[in-house]
Amino acid sequence: MRAFFFYFVISMLFLSCNKDKTTFTPIPYAINIPSHFPEMEIPQDNPMTEEGIELGRFLFYEIKLSGDNTMSCSSCHLPEYGFAENTSFSTGIDGISGNRNAMPLFNLGWEDFFFWDGRRNTLEGQILGPVPNPIEMHQEWKEATNKLNADVNYRNMFYRAFGEEGIDSIKVSKAIAQFLRTIISSNSKFDVMYKYENSLPLSPSENEMLLTVEAEEWAGYDLFKSLNGADCFHCHNGPLMRVKKFSNNGLDGSFSDLGRALVTNDPNDEGKFKVPSLRNIELTAPYMHDGRFNTLDEVIEHYSSGIHISSTIDPLIEFAGQGGVQLDAQEKFLIKKFLLTLTDTVFINNPNFKDPFN
Amino acid sequence: MIRFIFILLTCSFFIASCKKEGCTDSQAENYNPNANEDDGSCTYASDLLQINVNPKFGAQNFYLDSAFETSEGYFVKFTDIKFYISELKNGNDVLCDVALYDLRQTQHNLTSIPGDYSKYGSLFGEIGIDSVINHSDPSAFPNDSPLNISNAGLMHWGWNPGYIFISIEGKVDTLATGNNFNHNISFHVGTDQFLQSFGFDNLIWIPTDDGYKLDWTLDLQAFLNNSQSAIDLKNEFLTHSGSGQMILAEKVKNNFLIALTQ
């Protein structure tokens, strides 16, 4: 009898450890939009909550989402590289490489299309792609969610985030999207320069940073914006440092990757790719959709003298006929000085964006 | 006594029933056929008023990325046509504060807005943005505003120069081979001095399924060939309204106004 009682107590303790025991009391998350940024549109069917963001952060770093439990989203999107990767192409769990450079992940709440070719027009939709992709995480969503469902902690976290039992790919994508929308980069030296030049209020720490802006960085910024200088700002302007468009920026005379045209089937879109933000450009090498340039110097040289004309080249590459904007050595130096002001160390060191498993 | 009370109640009932308040306008959404006294509660459905700007090249249908022959014998492909219209109104009746025409993104539609077409027999406005708004924080406009930096995109130069009022981009084959489009054109007209007024009288609104529409025309051939200031794409292909580019910017501004007709 005593033995029976002992086993009964032990059994109850064991069971209680695995019991789903939680409540649904979501705390709305008030996202802090930088003063010089536009408002962020949050999808009505995926409001941000503390619980959803926490879950999304775990899922972003969760290796169970890959077929052999070795890769997570963060494997190709590392914080120290602006949530990009320092190789031209990422390698999936089967050792297969893709053919496009992993894009950095920040300020995604302001994007209207995703991937280099813009084949997804919601962040949630973008997130659904890499898990079943055979050259990336290579796992059917059903298997991935079964793994998550076997973990009581995830069952509880999903319940706390969504208020209903059951884990599916839609909930996974919504949670990761909530987390990604919190990854905002807005604390670079450029941000202080942008605010200062437009008479926007600066915080005490921003005023301190303003004092560190060098004359060469200001000169580089002027050159960056100059229509007769580097002429960069046609495609990289505003606080987000990009415009929403697809562009052929003169990388090739003929195309091995058709880019946007693979989505639209329009020959006028051949060789066009999404214009990326230049924020954190120092961290996100290699550059371009195929990671062909390893350094900023190579990128600057491309726009200076390496432009290739083709049928779909962007008319905004106005000096294409002469191979580029023809910068001299001093101008290249100044442009690079300015580009380095776009690095946001606050963002990459934010503990809220780091791996929760470590 | 009972008979007196009965007569009194009956009369009261008839008196009360004779006066029934409500909306008496049969054209209103909440028309009440039983009402015999209008209480001012009538509400009316707004029509959707659309203004379309249909591009053409002379007598030809116009499409982006299609080649058209100029009077000089060049071939030109336009890749983007965008412009801002603001303060579109008839007297004190404002139809639209600001609209961004983007041929590639929104096809021919300049604006679609609920309203009463009968107020807009004439429309006057600006091509471009008033100077006060032109230099405002582009991030501070509502998300659905065409002035918001997310929507303006490359139509916003910066706080100081402001918005690009007219943007026409394309490629020209000046060798006239029909397949050598390697000569870019980029007409970006903006800054306060290039704001210009326009307007149309005697507008004829055309009924649609859900309202009324106006069909305006933008003739790109007229834009290039304006007899007073024709644009030679071989030599006049780039302006950002900056110093040294003002003459062409002025041409673009003037020719655009001539090319835009009702």
**Mean pLDDT score, A69-77:** 97
- Decide the pairing of beta strands B162-173 and B183-190: antiparallel
- One domain, residues A172 and A212: no
- The answer to whether residues A77 and A193 belong to one domain is no
In a domain, A230, yes or no: yes
Specify the residue for token string 């304006």.
Answer: B226
At residue A253, φ and ψ (nearest 5 deg) are -85, -30
- Pair A65, A145: CB distance under 8 Å: no
What is the reported pLDDT for A15? 45
Peptide bond into A104 cis (omega under 30): no
Closest by Cβ to A227, choosing from B80, B140, B240: B240
Are the CB atoms for A115 and A272 separated by under 8 Å? no
Indicate the residue among A155, A184, A213 that finishes a domain.
A184
Chain B nearest-CA distance from A287, in A, is 22
Task: Write down the pLDDT at residue B3.
Answer: 64
Say which DSSP state B143 is in.
Answer: T
User: How does DSSP classify residue B129?
Assistant: -
Give how far Cα B175 sits from Cα of A90, B178, B239, Å.
44, 8, 22
Q: Which helix (H) or strand (E) holds B260?
A: strand B260-261
Q: Are residues A156 and A277 in the same domain?
A: no
* Mean confidence (pLDDT) of chain A: 93
The reported pLDDT for the residue numbered B19 is: 64
Residue B170 three-state SS: strand
**Beta-strand relationship, A273-274 and A246-247:** antiparallel
The residue count of chain B comes to: 262
Please tell me the predicted confidence (pLDDT) of residue B182.
78
For residues A239-259, average pLDDT: 95
Rounded Cα gap, residues B192 and B112, in angstroms: 26
Q: Do both A159 and A38 map to the same domain? A: yes
Judged by average pLDDT, the poorest of A127-131, A332-336, B9-13, B83-87 is: B9-13
Q: Tell me, what's the pLDDT at A16?
A: 45
- CB-based contact B195:B246 (threshold 8 Å): no
pLDDT at position A322, please?
87
- Paired tokens of A244: 């929403």
What is the total count of domains within chain A? 2
Q: Are residue A135 and residue A221 in the same domain, yes or no?
A: no
The reply to whether A316 and A279 lie within a common domain is yes
Does residue B186 register a pLDDT over 90? yes
Of A41, A309, A317, the CB nearest to B143: A41
> pLDDT digit string (tens) for B211-227?
999 999 999 999 999 88
Instruction: Give the predicted TM-score (pTM) of the model.
Output: 0.85
Q: Do B186 and A316 touch (CB under 8 A)?
A: yes
Query: Can you tell me the mean pLDDT for B152-166?
Result: 92
Averaged pLDDT for residues B58-66: 95
Burial of B226 (0-12, 13-18, 19+ CB in 10 A): middle
Between CA A285 and CA A196 the distance in angstroms is 28
Task: Please tell me the least confidently modeled range out of A15-24, A75-84, B68-77, B244-253.
Answer: A15-24
pLDDT in tens, B223-260: 999 888 999 999 999 999 988 899 999 999 999 999 99
Exposure letters A104-115 (e unless 16+ CB within 10 A, then b): bbbbbbbbebbb
Containing structural domain, residue A321:
189-345
Tell me if A52 sits within 8 A of A24, measured CB to CB: no
Residue A309 sits at the chain B interface (C-beta within 8 Å) = yes
CA distance A179 to A161: 12
| Closest by CA position to B165, among listed B112, B98, B227, B107 | B98
pLDDT in tens, A173-207: 999 999 999 999 999 999 999 999 999 999 999 99
What is the predicted ipTM?
0.82
DSSP A293: B
Q: How far apart are CA A92 and CA A72, in angstroms?
A: 10
**Beta carbons of A239 and B149 less than 8 Å apart:** yes
Question: A9-18, A59-68, A227-236, B132-141: which range is least confident on average?
Answer: A9-18
Cβ neighbours of A238 in B, within 8 Å? 138-139, 149, 153, 156
Query: Is residue A279 scored above 60 in pLDDT?
Result: yes
In tens, the pLDDT along A123-142 reads 999 999 999 999 999 999 99
* Dihedral (Cα; A42, A44, A50, A53), 10-degree rounding: -60
pLDDT of residue A12: 46
Report the residue count for chain A: 358
Please give the pLDDT value at position B242: 85
Give the E-state strand segments of chain A in sequence order: 246-247, 273-274
- The answer to the question of residue A356 being in a domain is no
Residue A118 C-alpha from the chain's centroid = 14
Asked if A126 and A120 touch (Cβ cutoff 8 Å), the reply is yes
Least confident of A250-259, B8-17, B193-202: B8-17
CA A291 – CA A305 distance, rounded (Å) = 19
- Confidence check: pLDDT of A14 > 50: no
The enclosing domain of A197 has a CATH number of 1.10.760.10
Domain boundary among the residues A184, A211, A244 is at: A184
- How many Å apart are CA A246 and CA A112, to the nearest integer? 12
Query: What residues form DSSP beta bridges with B77?
Result: B67, B171
- Domain boundary among the residues A119, A152, A184 is at A184
Query: Which token pair is B66?
Result: 């299609």
- Measure CB to CB from residue A315 to each of B137, B157, B171 and give the nearest one: B171
From B140, B149, B185, residue closest to A315, measured CB to CB: B185
User: Is residue A34 located within the same domain as residue A180?
Assistant: yes
Q: Is the CB of A110 inside 8 Å of chain B's CB atoms? A: yes
Backbone angles phi, psi at B84, to 5 degrees: -100, 140
CA distance A311 to chain B (A): 7
Residues 6+ away with beta carbon under 8 Å from B103: B55, B64, B80, B81, B82
In terms of DSSP bridges, do strands B47-57 and B211-219 run parallel, antiparallel, or are they unpaired?
parallel
> What one-character DSSP code corresponds to residue A202?
-
A32 and A166 part of one domain:
yes
Cα distance between residue B55 and residue A67, in whole Å = 53
Report the distance separating Cα B33 and Cα B35, nearest Å: 6
Cβ atoms of B166 and B240 within 8 Å: the answer is no
Report pLDDT for A230.
86
Ordered DSSP codes for B190-244: ESGGG-EEEEESS--PEE-SSEEEEEEEEEHHHHHH-TTS---TTT--EE-S-TT
Q: Are residues A308 and A341 in the same domain?
A: yes
On average, the pLDDT of chain B sits at: 89
Is residue A100 domain-shared with residue A223, that is, in the same domain? no
Cβ <8 Å between B149 and A38: yes
Domain assignment of residue A275, yes or no: yes
Distance CA B161, CA B85 (A): 17
Contact A38, B151 (CB under 8 A): no
Cα distance from B231 to chain A (closest Cα, Å)?
18
**In A, which residues are within 8 Å of B242 by CB distance?**
227-228
% of residues, chain A, pLDDT over 70: 94
pLDDT at position A17 is 45
Helix (H) or strand (E) holding A52: helix A50-60
Nearest CA in chain A to B159: A198
Question: Looking at residues A282-290, what average pLDDT do you find?
Answer: 97
**Is A223 in the same domain as A106?**
no
- In sequence order, the 6+-apart residues with CB closer than 8 A to the CB of B14 are none
Listed residue (B51, B131, B133, B55) closest to B99, CA to CA: B51
> Interior CA angle at A336 toward A335 and A342, to 5°?
100
Minimum mean pLDDT range among A70-74, A77-81, A304-308, A321-325: A321-325
- Which amino acid, one-letter code, is at A3? A
Q: Between chains, do B158 and A233 touch, taking CB under 8 Å as contact?
A: yes
A4: in domain: no
Do residues A270 and A117 make contact, with C-beta atoms less than 8 angstroms apart? no
Question: Average of pLDDT values for A219-226?
Answer: 94
Which has more confidence, A132 or A4? Answer: A132
pLDDT in tens, A23-63: 899 999 999 999 999 999 999 999 999 999 999 999 999 99
Same domain for A142 and A84, yes or no, is: yes
